[in-house]
Amino acid sequence: MRIAMIGSGYVGLVSGACLADFGHEVVCIDKDPEKIAALNEGRMPIYEPGLDALVAENVRQKRLAFSTDLKPAVAGAQAVFIAVGTPSRRGDGFADLSYVYAAAREIAEALTGYAVVVTKSTVPVGTGDEVERILREARPDLDIGVASNPEFLREGAAIGDFKRPDRIVIGAEDARAAAVMQEVYRPLYLNQAPILFTGRRTAELTKYAANAFLATKITFINEIADLCEQVGANVQEVARGIGLDNRIGSKFLHAGPGYGGSCFPKDTLALVKTAQDYGTPVRIVETVVAVNDQRKRAMARKVIAACGGSVRGKRVALLGLTFKPNTDDMRDAPSLSIIAGLQDAGARIVAYDPEGMEQARPLLQGVDYAEDAYACAEGADALVIVTEWNAFRALDLARLKATMAAPVLVDLRNVYASADAEQHGFAYAGIGVA
Ligand code: NAD
């Protein structure tokens, strides 16, 4: 099958490489010439474990190619995926669909015969209708299908998620488009991955409902963590105690500094806006958005409290900048708000992240970067674990303490047990652990 993937970012590139690995012939398109040039030279524009080898192998097998030229890739393709960004629109928080619609217009120009145009980007309910309208208006002569196939992969585990998904959701309005989509995912069908065929609007909403539910679960345990701190309970034990209940499940019950990343913040906000527009506000999600926004900055106050009430002139060392481990993605990372809050209070910041420093640099001012965790801690008045990279899970606490100006450890991911840290002479503050 010939497939064109429009947009070669975290989702487009991983999806394109995995679809090529299934045996399809895939061309990944991007507007960004630097990204395409890097890919054509075998360099990955993003950090995602295993991606370089997967791309190299499929390029070698001539199933995967990269180009800035959309036209030849779309002409003759049976499925054309739109995987461009849908960021929050400045000012009002609605999903910015300008990239999706621009891609649809370009695709319309390039189509030569029957093809299914598929939105893989996360898009609000009704976007597929508008994509179909754009395509039909531009090319009334063409026979096309328009489907929705939201992506559920997680950065950092993206390849495994794409190849072994919990489910695939396909929203199609006609049998012909559904059949093409079934063919795209046939290799997974054989693996018995559940494929749900739904209406297009249902598929679009399913993606937002999934992300909003996960964001709610995180926010719920974060609030329980705050309560634990006040009442002298332990949130990790509470999480285990409720998570073992199959109706609840143990995933997404890790208390932390608030959710961030390229999806949850923008998708929860977009769902809130859509629901308001339809006159059926989703009040739980509205509250989740508000609670999470306040939480990130509250983490700066937590660090300040751990430092005795002031960080003015103090050196605060941060371990981890990306919104989660195993990615270089800095979009809406909690570290950004935490650093801003600490700098506003007069702290000097030094940071280390295994993969995220390059993307962090343009987003942060006045931050020094260290080359590893120990160098970061040197001379610091407090060490703050913001992201739970594996490299931070087994640090030599004695060595850290010896180099720091003051032994204060603020562990926003509960990587260390308080008793352990205290035994090594640290003043320890975790999340939801009294
Ligand atoms: P991204 O910013 O990494 O990639 C988008 C790419 O599209 C960019 O490289 C951009 O240059 C390119 N682009 C924009 N307009 C184009 C056009 N007209 N033609 C060709 N290329 C174009 O974004 P992402 O993280 O891959 O997210 C893409 C979509 O997938 C979003 O809607 C997002 O919500 C959704 N999604 C993301 C994730 C994730 O973990 N990142 C997971 C599931 C769904």
Alpha helices in 308-417 (DSSP H): 334-344, 357-360, 373-377, 397-403
| First and final C-alpha spacing in the chain | 57
For residue 204, tell me if it sits in a domain: no
For residue 205, tell me if it sits in a domain: no
- pLDDT reported for residue 192: 82
- pLDDT reported for residue 335: 98
- pLDDT reported for residue 286: 98
Amino acid in the structure at residue 400: L
For residue 207, tell me if it sits in a domain: no
Q: How many domains does the chain have?
A: 2
Classify residue 279 by its DSSP letter.
Answer: T
Ligand 1 centre and the CA of 9: distance in Å? 5
A 10 A CB-CB count for 141 gives 7
- Please report which helix (H) or strand (E) contains residue 170, including its range: strand 168-172
Do 217 and 160 fall into the same domain?
no
State how far the Cα of 131 lies from the Cα of 129, in Å rounded to an integer. Answer: 6
Q: Is 292 helix (H, G, I), strand (E, B) or coil?
A: helix
Do 306 and 173 fall into the same domain?
no
Atom of ligand 1 nearest to the CA of 95: 32
Do 81 and 161 fall into the same domain?
yes
Residue 237 C-alpha from the chain's centroid: 27
Q: What number of CA atoms fall less than 13 Å from residue 220's CA on the CB side?
A: 17
Of 148, 165, 198, the residue that ends a domain is 198
Largest CA distance in the chain: 75
Name which residue sits closest to atom 14 of ligand 1, judged by CA.
84
Q: Quote the ipTM score.
A: 0.99
- The answer to whether 254 is a known ligand-binding residue is yes
For residue 184, tell me if it sits in a domain: yes
Atom of ligand 1 nearest to the CA of 13: 26
Question: Ligand 1, residues 84, 109, 208: which to mutate, most atoms within 8 A of Cβ?
Answer: 84
Beta bridge partners of 197: 170
Residues spanned by the domain of 45? 2-198
Ligand 1 centre and the CA of 6: distance in Å? 9
Do 34 and 143 fall into the same domain?
yes
Do 227 and 177 fall into the same domain?
no
Ligand 1 centre and the CA of 168: distance in Å? 19
Q: What is the dihedral of CA 325, 327, 332, 334, to 10 degrees?
A: 20
Contact 107, 70 (CB under 8 A): yes
- pLDDT reported for residue 91: 85
Which positions are annotated as active-site residues?
Answer: 263
Q: What is the pLDDT of residues 282-320, one digit of tens each?
A: 999 999 999 999 999 999 999 999 999 999 999 999 999
Do 227 and 82 fall into the same domain?
no
Do 285 and 336 fall into the same domain?
yes
Contact 375, 350 (CB under 8 A): no
Burial class (CB in 10 A: 0-12, 13-18, 19+), 401: middle
For residue 203, tell me if it sits in a domain: no
Residue 191 C-alpha from the chain's centroid: 26
- The answer to whether 378 is a known ligand-binding residue is no
Of 198, 227, 259, the residue that ends a domain is 198
Atom of ligand 1 nearest to the CA of 29: 20
CATH number, position 421? 3.40.50.720
Residues near ligand 1 with C-beta < 6 Å?
A: 6-12, 29-32, 35, 83-86, 99, 102-103, 106, 121-122, 151, 153, 155, 262-263
Of 172, 198, 224, the residue that ends a domain is 198
Do 186 and 234 fall into the same domain?
no
Contact 263, 344 (CB under 8 A): no
Do 234 and 368 fall into the same domain?
yes
- The answer to whether 122 is a known ligand-binding residue is yes
Classify residue 390 by its DSSP letter.
Answer: G
Q: What is the pLDDT of residues 199-230, one digit of tens each?
A: 999 999 999 999 999 999 999 999 999 999 99
Structure tokens at 53: 């080898």
Contact 184, 1 (CB under 8 A): yes
For residue 257, tell me if it sits in a domain: yes
Contact 56, 20 (CB under 8 A): no
Do 306 and 346 fall into the same domain?
yes
Ligand 1 centre and the CA of 122: distance in Å? 9
For residue 434, tell me if it sits in a domain: no
Per-residue pLDDT of the chain (434 residues; tens, 9 = 90+): 999 999 999 999 999 999 999 999 999 999 999 999 999 999 999 999 999 999 999 999 999 999 999 999 999 999 999 999 999 998 899 999 999 999 999 999 999 999 999 999 999 999 999 999 999 999 999 999 999 999 999 999 999 999 999 999 999 999 999 999 999 999 987 778 899 999 999 999 999 999 999 999 999 999 999 999 999 999 999 999 999 999 999 999 999 999 999 999 999 999 999 999 999 999 999 999 999 999 999 999 999 999 999 999 999 999 999 999 999 999 999 999 999 999 999 999 999 999 999 999 999 999 999 999 999 999 999 999 999 999 999 999 999 999 999 999 999 999 999 999 999 999 999 999 97
State how far the Cα of 234 lies from the Cα of 123, in Å rounded to an integer. Answer: 39
For residue 99, tell me if it sits in a domain: yes
Contact 289, 353 (CB under 8 A): no
194: Cβ contacts below 8 Å, ≥ 6 apart: 166, 167, 168
Do 252 and 387 fall into the same domain?
yes
State how far the Cα of 99 lies from the Cα of 28, in Å rounded to an integer. Answer: 16
- pLDDT reported for residue 190: 75
Do 101 and 223 fall into the same domain?
no
